């Protein structure tokens, strides 16, 4: 593949992948903080307001880190931690008896599993050639 095209596709992929996390924080969790904390508490999340503040920090830091490719492996790790906890607390399809609700939560569970896979790939391979992590790599031929 053409190196420029590969680099461009990697940037677009990072943006598309992380928009959901960034928008979840700024479009839902921050403006509806108390409502979301109440929902989290009802779902059994301990210290819901503290955990929500942490989730917002992980979502913003992780998504921007991956999008810009600055310490993308750390950002992907933050998003992976968020995904593991969110999936466990909010998509526990195995506890539901209603078939429709069970099916919807299983779909959401599997979507989160796919996102976890993407975070693991970023943790393993880095952010790609057009990233802040690799801003000096073009001259040395190395990538992080």
Count CB-CB contacts under 10 A for residue 59.
25
**Residue 53's pLDDT is what?**
98
Q: What is the pLDDT of residues 31-45, one digit of tens each?
A: 999 999 999 999 999
Alpha-carbon distance of 44 to 83, in angstroms, equals 16
**Residue 94's pLDDT is what?**
92
**Residue from 16, 28, 93 nearest 55 by CA:** 28
Q: Helix axis angle, 99-125 relative to 3-24, nearest 10°? A: 130
Q: Could you read off the pLDDT tens digit of each residue along the chain, which spans 144 residues?
A: 899 999 999 999 999 999 999 999 999 999 999 999 999 999 999 999 999 999 999 999 999 999 999 999 999 999 999 999 999 999 999 999 999 999 999 999 999 999 999 999 999 999 998 999 988 665 445 555
**Residue 23's pLDDT is what?**
98
**Residue 143's pLDDT is what?**
53
Alpha-carbon distance of 17 to 45, in angstroms, equals 26
**Residue 35's pLDDT is what?**
98
């Amino acid at each position: 593949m053409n190196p420029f095209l590969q680099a461009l596709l990697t940037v677009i992929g990072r943006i598309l992948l992380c928009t959901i996390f960034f928008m979840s924080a700024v479009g839902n969790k921050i403006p509806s903080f108390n409502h979301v904390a109440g929902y989290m508490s009802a779902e059994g999340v301990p210290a819901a307001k503290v955990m929500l503040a942490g989730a917002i920090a992980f979502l913003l830091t992780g998504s921007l880190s991956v999008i810009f490719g600055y310490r993308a492996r750390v950002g992907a790790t933050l998003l992976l931690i968020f995904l593991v906890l969110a999936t466990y607390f909010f998509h526990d399809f195995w506890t539901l008896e209603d078939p429709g609700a069970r099916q919807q939560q299983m779909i959401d569970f599997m979507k989160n599993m796919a996102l976890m896979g993407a975070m693991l790939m970023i943790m393993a391979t880095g952010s790609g050639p057009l990233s802040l992590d690799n801003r000096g790599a073009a001259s040395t031929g190395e990538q992080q």
